[in-house]
Amino acid sequence: MKNYKVLTGIVLLVLSTWALSTQEASGKWLMQFSMPLFVLLFFRFGQQVLLVLAITLPEKGLSVFRSKNYPMQIIRGSTSLFAMLAVFMALSYLPQAEATAIYFLAPLLVLCIAPWFLGEPSRWHRWVAAIVGFLGVMIIVRPGAGLHPIGVGYGLLAAIIIATQYLCTRKLAADDSKTTLLWSGIVGFVGGIILAPFQLSEGIAVMREFELWQWLLVINTGVFGTLGHLLQIKAYQQAPASLLAPFSYLQIIAAAALGLAIWGQFPDLLGWLGIFIVCASGVVATIIEWRNNQEIKQLVEKMIDTK
């Protein structure tokens, strides 16, 4: 594999972190304007379905709907819906950087539970990384940090659901990633259709008062959310997922930058210490995984030798 492909993958993944953070900032902002969450989810996933179909139908036709495991697609789509719900609820109570750092426990949880669900070997460093990462979260949410406990609870719930979503994604490795993205949108959209009527009258009253820029925020949630996942797909086509994993933590930096720019919210020194511990535990665990993977190890060594 040529080095430029790896670098392209890294750039695409970094761009995806900004796209996903923009989606979350848009959703947080809309809820501050009293947009009901269920209505927001309806628009978010509806746009995902339309965008993925617009991109894939000309190339793949109706075959994009075909899956080798429809039940798992429905389960994964459900986790995507509930993860988005939990993330937006956490964001409605917490600053964006802190909320993002909390649910970034998910990759560490996956490392711990993968042996039971994916048949991977159990390794001690995974448990150490998860425990250290959780201690980092405890520093972020410490007493005196001023973080709402309900928001913290939703952030931890989001981490658990996102970890489950990752496991489902691994189970769907035989399917085209765009097919999985489409089915996630379909299941989420159906969930939005079911849930939105409970808040429809409230949603209509709020959206009647929206100005153009607020409608652009609604569009942002779907466009940037879908774009973020499409960029991830492209990134993983350029380089192995395990090699790119450490760069996903840059989403916390993107979240902090947007939180500062929009709301003037920025983690304090201890908050950054906790964020650093969460990120470092994930990155160190990934580097150890590299050492156990000869293909990744040789690729990294080749990149270093050619610089």
Task: Give the pLDDT of residue 189.
Answer: 98
| 81 contacts 41 by C-beta, under 8 angstroms | yes
φ and ψ of 105, to 5 deg: -65, -20
Flag whether pLDDT at 24 surpasses 90: yes
Q: What is the pLDDT of residues 249-294, one digit of tens each?
A: 999 999 999 999 999 999 999 999 999 999 999 888 888 877 766 5
Q: Which pLDDT score is estimated for 1?
A: 47
Whether the per-residue pLDDT at 295 is higher than 80: the answer is: no
Q: How far apart are the first and last CA of the chain?
A: 15
- Contact in structure between 52 and 181 (CB atoms under 8 Å): yes
The mean pLDDT value for 138-159 works out to 94
CA distance 157 to 287: 27
Q: 209-236, pLDDT tens digit by residue?
A: 999 999 999 999 999 999 999 999 888 8
Alpha-carbon Rg for the chain in angstroms: 19
Any alpha helices (H) in the chain, and if so which ranges?
Answer: 3-32, 37-60, 70-93, 96-103, 106-118, 124-140, 149-171, 177-195, 200-207, 212-238, 241-244, 250-263, 269-291, 294-305
Tokens of 52: 């993925």
- If one compares 161 and 237, the residue with the highest pLDDT of the two is 161
| CA pair distance 192, 111, nearest whole angstrom | 31
Please, are residues 154 and 89 in contact by the beta-carbon 8 Å criterion?
Answer: yes
Taking only the tens place, the pLDDT of each residue in 149-195 is: 999 999 999 999 999 999 998 889 888 999 999 999 999 999 999 99
Q: If you average pLDDT over every residue of the chain, what do you get?
A: 90
